[in-house]
């Protein structure tokens, strides 16, 4: 169940120019120069935002690496966790998941199909509206989440601890 680039939200975001990957931030002098020209007084906020965006992109890379090492994509994990965290029921429709994750219908369809084929999700028709399909975690999907969550939290915790020491 190797992660495909087509269903990886980070690759989709990168293609759309939505992910910040600037290893070396502009100097304080450069930020001040632009700030004076375009938005006087905003230099500290701009610098903080750039640092925050760089740190977020580095964290996303660490999380992507963790999931890749476990033969999963972040989107597949997010679909599973969104279903699992539902408080009042153990299922969601594909449209509900797509809305919660802000993922397009084609990407969602491909990714859900992959999870169904892998035996991590099951699908059944809604009893009230047979056209609506309910997606739920299988026992294998639940077990995979339980196996992945400690490493996921460790990845985030390790990153945050190292970020707080710098």
pLDDT at 92 over 60: yes
Residue ranges with strand state E in the chain: 91-93, 121-125, 133-137
Task: Tell me the CATH number at 53.
Answer: 1.10.10.10
Residue 36: which domain range?
5-164
- Tell me how far apart the alpha carbons of residues 53 and 34 are, in angstroms, rounded to a whole number: 18
89 by Cβ neighbours in 10 Å (0-12 / 13-18 / 19+) ranks as: exposed
Whole-number Cα distances in Å, 3 to 13, 31, 52, 91, 99? 16, 38, 27, 23, 21
pLDDT confidence of residue 146: 96
Selected residue with higher pLDDT from 80 and 47:
80
User: For the chain, how many structural domains are there in total?
Assistant: 1
Range 131-134 contact pairs with CB under 8 angstroms and sequence separation of 24 or more: 132/93, 133/93, 133/94, 134/91, 134/92, 134/93
Selected residue with higher pLDDT from 130 and 105:
105
pLDDT confidence of residue 19: 54
What is the rounded average pLDDT of the residues 132-148?
A: 96
pLDDT confidence of residue 21: 62
């Amino acid at each position: 169940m190797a992660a495909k680039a087509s269903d990886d939200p980070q690759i989709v975001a990168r293609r759309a120019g939505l992910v910040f990957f600037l290893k070396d931030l502009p100097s304080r002098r450069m930020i001040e120069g632009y700030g004076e020209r375009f938005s006087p007084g905003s230099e500290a906020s701009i610098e903080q935002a750039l640092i925050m965006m760089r740190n977020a992109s580095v964290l996303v890379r660490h999380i992507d690496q963790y999931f890749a090492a476990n033969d999963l994509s972040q989107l597949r994990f997010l679909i599973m966790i969104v279903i699992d965290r539902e408080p009042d029921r153990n299922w969601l429709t594909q449209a509900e998941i797509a809305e919660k994750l802000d993922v397009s219908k084609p990407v969602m369809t491909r990714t859900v199909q992959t999870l169904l084929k892998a035996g991590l999700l099951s699908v059944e028709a809604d009893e009230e509206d047979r056209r609506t399909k309910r997606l739920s975690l299988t026992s294998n999907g639940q077990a995979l989440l339980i196996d992945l969550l400690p490493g996921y939290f460790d990845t985030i915790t390790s990153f945050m601890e190292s970020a707080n020491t710098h």
